[in-house]
Amino acid sequence: MGQLPVLSRPQLPDSALLQKMGLRQRWATVVPVDGTRDRVDYAQVFGTQVLIQNTSGLVTALDGETGKRQWTITLGQPYRSQHLPAAGNKHTFCILSGLTVYGVDRQTGLVAWSMRSPGVPSAPIGMDESRFYLATTDGEVYAYVLPLSARAFAEQFGGQEKGTGDYQSIDPVTNPTSIRTPLKLWDFQTNYQVVQAPVPLSTHVVFANRAGVLYSFQRDVNQLADRFYSRAAITAPISHVGDDIYVASQDYTVYNFEVVGGQLSERWETTIHSRILEKPIVIGPEVYVVGLDQGMFCLDRGDGSIRWRQNEAAQFLAASKRLVFAADRYGNTLCLDRVKGRVLDSWNSRGWGHRVVNEDTDRLYLVNHDGLVICLHDLDREYAQPYFHNARPAPQGKPAKQGDRAGADDTKPGDQ
């Protein structure tokens, strides 16, 4: 989420302090900022790529392993367009700037397409490899087919790449066709706004309105498969791994559903006696949930039982095999034992404007409003290469690819 600017010039931590935390600095860099008027609004992790959006409309992509700037572009009207967190699949970022959705090539930073939003967006975009979903303030939810670049088309459907400017789609709904802008599949009117990003699954998409109704829709047609009425508003983003979803409600409860044929099959629910505003984070066999003024809870992903609770932690940041990194309510970074949740050490990182949540890898990223970015990770030699969580099991006969999220256990796949 966007944060208010902080008038600070944080210093890079020294190696002795980091060593006490069980950390080492991998790199530090500065991303472009348009003078003192500009600031970093959002910083997000997508596998081994870090995406940073500024108030001025500057968007910068960094290599998450080296800190090297991959590209910088400007979207929308500087200082006049409202921004929301971006969505991404393997090849494309969908970035909202004002009332325009931009499709940006992740590799090159080129704007492949743009489209006018059908209304004022009320939530970040939800996205998979071939669809994206957009919610607007009038309670409408829209589903679109994504144009595929030549590279994405060749990888997804086989065959040879065509010219780099070619966009096409082989789609079970639209039939073989060439599309250069997103093609609307369907729209659905809810009674209340959808304020969290829709979550695409293998065959369905799920989303919740602010009245606490969770919907499961078919991806390809406007057909409701199932719905669930929680006892209070759903205020936190929905998390998922594969077709398992994790939903937090203002009734102080975390729900785990397995979506089978569109049906919301409840597996467990756990009450933590505190409001939950942050997204539940799934890391291998654990789910990390933060309760307002109640600290961070580590839940067993299998049955929802509470493994431990750490009162000082107010935000999950990242995790390695042995450590969990969190922030307390004052902005300090905490190093926790992953098995028992006890605080091993802490670091005064209050001067940093953004402590970035990373549910993909073990890397810990801090970003300041003036553009300073630092990457830290577990000092154990094992983590010289990024450690990916929730890796999808490889298809038979094919190697696993890093960054794929679906499996239940922590694994360490090969390079992406």
Phi-psi domain of 318 (left: phi exceeds 0; alpha: psi -120 through 50; beta: other): beta
User: Looking at residue 165, what DSSP letter applies?
Assistant: T
Domain ranges of the chain: 13-85+278-391
Does residue 363 contact residue 44 with C-beta atoms inside 8 Å? no
Q: How long, in residues, is the chain?
A: 416
The residue type of 107 is: Q
- Three-state SS at 157: helix
Q: For the domain bounded by 13-85+278-391, which CATH number is listed?
A: 2.40.10.480
DSSP string, 324-342: EEEEETTS-EEEEETTT--
The residue type of 246 is: Y
pTM over cut 0.95: no
| Nearest one of 114, 203, 215, 103 to 149, comparing CA atoms | 103
pLDDT by residue for the chain (416 residues), tens digit each?
A: 444 454 577 889 999 989 988 899 999 999 999 988 999 999 999 999 999 999 999 999 999 999 999 999 999 999 988 889 999 999 999 999 999 999 999 999 999 999 999 999 999 999 999 899 999 999 999 999 998 776 776 676 665 544 444 555 555 555 445 678 899 999 999 989 999 999 999 999 999 998 999 999 999 888 999 999 998 899 899 999 999 999 998 889 999 999 999 999 999 999 998 899 999 999 999 999 999 889 999 999 999 999 999 999 999 999 999 999 999 999 899 999 999 999 999 999 998 989 999 999 999 999 999 999 999 999 988 889 999 998 643 333 344 444 444 433 443 333 33
Task: List the structure tokens of 13.
Answer: 């931590």
